[in-house]
Structure formats: C-alpha cells, structure tokens
Chains A and B, each alone.
Chain A
C-alpha cells in the first residue's frame, strides 16, 4: 500500500481510510506512473521528443523576449514627461527594419519547423507495425471501461473491465467505441489521447517496451464522475500474458465453502444480476462490468478503490457516496448476506 492509495481513500471515503490503514497485505496497489515525460513505448517517445523540442524553442524565445524588453526598459528615459525629440537617422532606420524582418523570418521558420516535425511525429506514432497484433476492443461507459479481447471463436473471447493486460514488445491494436457520450482514452506513459465517439469506431496501436502498471484516465469531460474514470494498462512478459489469458477464459470458480455459496445465491437473487455478468452462472447482463474474475483485479470502481473486502463492501452498500451519480444502485443488503457476497466476489480469481 502506498501513500497515493491512502490519499485517494481519504478524499473519497474517509471511513475507508482506517480500514485501509489496518489492512495488511495490500501491497500491489501502486496506481503506476502517469507521466508523458517517462514514456515506455516508441509512440510515447515520439510525443516526448516533440514536447522537449517545443519546450526548448519556447524557452529560447522567452529568454530573448525578456532580454529584449529588459534592455529597452534600461535605455528608456524614464521620469520625463516630455516626448522624445524626433531624430532623422536613415542608417538607423535601415538597421531597425533589417532586424525586424530577420526576426519575423526566424519566427515563421521556427513555427514551420515545429509544424513539419509535429506532422512527422504523428506519422511515426500512426505507423506502428500491426503484424501479429493483439487486438483489444475498448468501450467507454459512464464511468468505467469495458475491455474485450475479441476472438473468432466465441468461447475464446475475454471480457473484463478497467484493467487492460498487454504483452510487452508486441503490437497492440485498440479498437474504440462508446456506449453513451464522448470519452477519451489516455495513458500518458504510452501514447496520446484518443477520443471514443458514440456511433463511430476507430483504431490505433502502440507497443509497450517495459513491463509495469501504467495508469490511464478519461481525458474528455463525460459527466459527473469523469474524474473517477480511470483504468490501468498492465504490461506483462508474453508468458505471463498467456497465463493471464488462460485464467480469464475459464468460467467463474464455484464456491468452496457455505459462506461463498450463500454469496453466490445473494448475487443471483438480488439486483446484482440485472447489470453484471458472471460467466458460468445465470448472470449475463452487459450493463455493468463483467465480474467473472473480479477477484483477480487490483482495483474496483474504475481505479477508484483498492480491491479489498472493506472497500468492496462500502462500494456495494453505498456506491452513490463514493461516486455520486454513477449507474450502480445502492442496495439494502444486511450483515450476513453482505459478508457472504463480499467473500464470494473476492473468491472469483
């Protein structure tokens, strides 16, 4: 557990903070870097290079402007109200117009260089090789991310939410869709922003070089909980990615003790199954995130809360306190039923 999780919890749900502090073993909750200046992909590298180029050009221009204004201020005859005398100086005028002309030329030229290099950088970001790519369908919802790994065989399709697992050093093609309003897919460490537009689908690709967890965020204002619409890209070595795929393809595990069995019964007889799916049970609705392997995720509620029993319970009982306006309804589950539901959901690895 790190300070970021604690700050998150403190802002969102003060009551959860104490639960978090007393929780042990929650170590891999690092939200991951969220930094366009430490890219982990060639695409992010192009964007970073362009950023520094524009930064240094602007920095030089800024220094020149400050020096110019400073020297002009030093020369001016401050403190006199009389207008300066008009001096006829043809040689001086010629030098002045030469200087202004050159400065204008340099300005236009540097802007032009920035334009051309931006186009080149964008072209290189687009030109990611797409052979043997892993294709991932990302659908933006208010306020979470649906993630599907399409496959020509229906039973090899993976459905998950808010966590995108990718293999490193492999081209990744992201297909975008939106279920309601415009969202924007942004993982600063990996690549630039891509809008998800309702009724339109688009595609883009990237490749991650370094294993790790990289935080993503919706970057287009999409309603009340836009700020809490996060996700994570989890880059693994190809072998780990294979293992993860195999695990995600399995049906949900069956309850192994009476408490989990009761939890499953609670899930299937209350409002849960109106919106959520658990593969291998009767629950098959696609309105909310797929919960078949929810126990294997790091965070819940779109990177808002750590996936620990306390946070999960708080979320189930009163989601409108944590993310007001979200589409999950509060429910009146009491003690034993709630505990059983939590342990069942946590068992869904």
Chain B
C-alpha cells in the first residue's frame, strides 16, 4: 500500500469521528436539574406569534442514539402508547404529523410531559426523573422525522404500520394557527 492511500484512509477515518456524539451515553444522570418549569407558558393561546420556547435542553438527548432509544423504551413502558398509539394517536393527538398544539421544540414537549395539558394529558412531574422526560421528548420528535436520521431508532420491538422512526419523512411543524412555527 502506498503512502498516499494510507494517508487517505487516515483522513477518511478522521471524518467518521465527527459522528461520535451519536454514541455518547450518560449512564449516571443527575436526579434533577436546574431546569425550571415555571418559566414556560402552558397555554397555546397567546397574542401574536406561536409559543416561543424557553432555553433549550442539553443537546445530548437530541444527538445520542442511546438517549433516543431509551425514550422509545420509556414511551412503551410509561404507557404513552395507551393514548397516542405508536404515533398515530387515539384518545390523544397523533404525534407523527406536523400539527403541534403546544410547540414542537424539545422544551415544549418536555413541558407537556412534566406539567400535563388540559383535556387528558397527565402530569408526570415527580413521577419520572427529568432526564427521562428529555429522552421521551427526543423520541417524540423522531416520530415526525425531526431528529437526524442516524440518531432516530431504525427498528422497534412492537408491531408498527408506520415506517421506522429513522425513515419517517420530515414534517414541517405547524402551530395552532396552521402556519409554520416561528423559530427564535
């Protein structure tokens, strides 16, 4: 093998290291974080534009395949499927479409899980640790293709009629006004 091809191979393998956050795992998360729920507006009704999300969560939950697959497991185990099915909805609204009543940012979804919403969504505050809320929020986003394809789960243990999360077409989130969400 020539020096040139070794050099090229080394350069290519350096490129692969760019994607390494995908495999990051936090096995020992803090039991609670400094994230304060009360700064978040809970109503979808607000003057002017759609809900503006508060400060974003740590990126690890959106970028780690492990965190998202933990979210997938918890989505089953905490019985989110009971109302939202595997994204198609039922008693609760579908999660695989582009329509977001309370905003599509991870912070919005986290707030929905932790605080609950009118008409049936229960509050999981004090019942699940915050890091699990973030993991579930990341998984919920993968249901409508909002996560990078290399992070979203590519297989499921449950029977599903929809394609795997990593193959979901990306939906452009729209809010209650039907217009695309404004991003800060």
**Per-residue CB proximity of B72-113 to A under 8 Å, as 1/0?**
010001100000000000000000000000000000000000
Chain B nearest CB from A193 CB (Å) reads 24
Option from A224, A270, A325 in Cβ contact (under 8 Å) with B126 = A270
The reply to whether B32 and A329 form a contact with Cβ atoms under 8 Å apart is: no
Given known A274-B78, A275-B77, A287-B77, contact A330–B126 (CB-CB < 8 A): no
Given known A275-B77, A287-B77, contact A330–B31 (CB-CB < 8 A): yes
The reply to whether A325 and B27 form a contact with Cβ atoms under 8 Å apart is: yes
The reply to whether A274 and B127 form a contact with Cβ atoms under 8 Å apart is: yes
The reply to whether B77 and A331 form a contact with Cβ atoms under 8 Å apart is: no
Interface size class of B (residues with CB under 8 A): 10 to 19
List residues 57-83 of chain B with CB under 8 A from any CB of chain A: 73, 77-78
The reply to whether A271 and B77 form a contact with Cβ atoms under 8 Å apart is: no
The reply to whether B129 and A321 form a contact with Cβ atoms under 8 Å apart is: no
- Interface assignment of B142: CB less than 8 Å from any CB of chain A: no
The reply to whether A329 and B128 form a contact with Cβ atoms under 8 Å apart is: yes
Given known A269-B126, A270-B127, A271-B127, contact A332–B31 (CB-CB < 8 A): yes
Which residues of A have CB within 8 Å of B25?
Answer: 325
The reply to whether B28 and A331 form a contact with Cβ atoms under 8 Å apart is: no
- Interface assignment of A280: CB less than 8 Å from any CB of chain B: no
Q: How far, in angstroms, from A207 to B80 measured CA to CA in the complex?
A: 43
Given known A287-B77, A320-B28, A324-B28, contact A329–B132 (CB-CB < 8 A): yes
Which residues of A have CB within 8 Å of B29?
Answer: 320, 330
The reply to whether B27 and A329 form a contact with Cβ atoms under 8 Å apart is: no
**Per-residue CB proximity of B148-159 to A under 8 Å, as 1/0?**
000000000100
Chain A nearest CB from B57 CB (Å) reads 17
Option from A224, A269, A270, A330 in Cβ contact (under 8 Å) with B28 = A330
Q: How far, in angstroms, from A210 to B95 measured CA to CA in the complex?
A: 57
Q: How far, in angstroms, from A180 to B127 measured CA to CA in the complex?
A: 24
Interface size class of A (residues with CB under 8 A): 20 to 34
The reply to whether A330 and B129 form a contact with Cβ atoms under 8 Å apart is: yes
Given known A269-B126, A270-B127, A271-B127, contact A321–B77 (CB-CB < 8 A): no
Chain A nearest CB from B119 CB (Å) reads 23
Q: How far, in angstroms, from A54 to B30 measured CA to CA in the complex?
A: 53
**Closest B residue by C-beta to A317:** B31
**Closest B residue by C-beta to A270:** B126
Which residues of A have CB within 8 Å of B128?
Answer: 271, 274, 329
Chain B nearest CB from A218 CB (Å) reads 19
Option from A224, A269, A271, A287 in Cβ contact (under 8 Å) with B129 = A271
**Closest A residue by C-beta to B78:** A274
**Per-residue CB proximity of A320-339 to B under 8 Å, as 1/0?**
11001101011110000000
Q: How far, in angstroms, from A198 to B157 measured CA to CA in the complex?
A: 10
Which residues of B have CB within 8 Å of A329?
Answer: 31, 128-129, 131-132
**Closest A residue by C-beta to B77:** A287
**Closest B residue by C-beta to A318:** B28
Which residues of A have CB within 8 Å of B129?
Answer: 271, 329-331
Q: How far, in angstroms, from A139 to B127 measured CA to CA in the complex?
A: 26
Q: How far, in angstroms, from A198 to B31 measured CA to CA in the complex?
A: 32
Sampled A-B contacts (26; CB under 8 Å): A180-B157, A198-B157, A269-B126, A270-B126, A270-B127, A271-B126, A271-B128, A274-B78, A274-B127, A274-B128, A275-B77, A318-B28, A320-B28, A321-B28, A324-B27, A325-B25, A325-B27, A327-B73, A329-B31, A329-B129, A329-B132, A330-B28, A330-B30, A330-B129, A331-B31, A331-B129
Assuming A270-B126, A270-B127, what are 11 further A-B pairs, CB within 8 angstroms? A274-B127, A275-B77, A325-B27, A327-B73, A329-B31, A329-B128, A330-B29, A330-B30, A331-B31, A331-B129, A332-B32
Q: Which residues of A contact B (CB under 8 A)?
A: 180, 198, 224, 269-271, 273-275, 287, 318, 320-321, 324-325, 327, 329-332
Q: Which 9 A-B pairs have the closest CB atoms?
A: A332-B31, A320-B28, A324-B27, A329-B129, A330-B31, A287-B77, A332-B32, A331-B31, A325-B27
